[in-house]
Amino acid sequence: MDRENLFRRLRVEVETYGFCEAHSGWRLRFEASEAASLHMCLSGRGRMRLSSGVGLPMRPGALVLLPADTEYGFEAGPEIVSECDAERAFPDNDESLKLYRAGDGDEDPLVVACGEIILANDEIADFLTWLDEPVIEEVPELIPSSHGLLTLFFELRDGREVSVAFLETLLKGLLIRALDIHPDLGGSVLVNLLDAADRRLARALELIVTHPSDAITIDMLTANAGMSRTLLFEQFKEAFGMSPMRFIYDLRLTRAAQMLSGGPGSVGEIARATGFRSRSHFNREFKRKYGQTPGRFRG
């Protein structure tokens, strides 16, 4: 794969920007974002606490790409005695950055640069839709992006005007680094889609991703892609190792597992919400993928 040309075809958008500062004994909580988010630890030590209870270690150089719809927080110190919520509302002025702070007093608090990320090209609105678990990487502490982000943080903390464009550029660079380090980021879907020789395949995938719960048929996919049934099956087999319908089922089942893990609704409601018209069909397909029934998976 020519990764340089692959990256050149990408459009990286950073939707929301900010810095988080958590002092010892404090947790700073965030609501789930509709987009994936990128987080780079600049100084201090602590944890990113996910809604599942998992704690990801945060120390200078830690880089985390977080899936959409994931609640999280930053905490510092061995024992958390106080916490506060962070509203994801930024000033109307697009040139303004937000500094979220929990507690005070530490000489070396946990400081993290954050941004909501969309990764797209002309065919697909957001490739990171496929990201279903955090990607964690340790990058050298003194890389240029870390220096630049830490400088921006100190300027913002001291009340000086800070360039949003500069922060966006640095976060984009970190995302490209994460993609380069993790060629399997988001599973084979992302890499094979970005590197697909036949751009018509992307049009078929766009229909699947934007309407995952609809009763999509092979005829709908061939019409959207402008290719024959035979070619469609060949393209899916080559790119993903499975048929188009199996790809659709796997995408639906991944979403169903996420809903079962932390969301409301009965198994039947989740089956319908993810596009399965039959509860028995849903149970059978779910057990094939995860080795247990939806009810047992939920626990």
Q: Which segments in the chain show pLDDT lower than 70? A: 1-11, 16, 86-97, 121-125, 140-148, 156, 159-169, 173, 175-199, 202, 206, 209-210, 212, 239-240, 262-263, 299
The reported pLDDT for the residue numbered 197 is: 44
pLDDT in the model for residue 143: 55
Q: Where in the chain is the domain with CATH 2.60.120.10?
A: 3-186
Does this model's pTM top 0.85? My answer is no
**Nearest of 59, 17, 65, 76 to residue 39 by alpha carbon:** 65
Positions of E strands within the chain: 11-22, 26-30, 36-43, 46-50, 55-58, 62-66, 72-75, 82-86, 98-102, 110-120, 135-138
The predicted structure's pLDDT at residue 120? 73
The whole-number pLDDT of residue 203 equals: 74
Angle formed by the axes of helices 244-262 and 229-240, to 10°?
50
Which of the 8 DSSP states describes residue 31? P
Q: Assess contact for 247 and 204: CB atoms under 8 A.
A: no
Q: Can you give the pLDDT at residue 94?
A: 47
Is domain 196-298 classified as CATH 1.10.3300.10? no
**What would the CATH number be for the domain defined by 3-186?**
2.60.120.10
- Tell me the sheet residues that pair with 142: none
Sequence ranges of the chain with CATH classification 1.10.10.60? 196-298
Strand arrangement, sheet containing 55-58: 55-58, 46-50, 72-75, 26-30, 82-86
- Encode pLDDT of 119-147 as tens digits: 776 656 677 777 777 878 777 554 556 66
CA 8 to chain centre: 20
**pLDDT at 75 (0 to 100):** 94
Whether the CB-CB separation of 110 and 46 falls below 8 Å is answered with yes
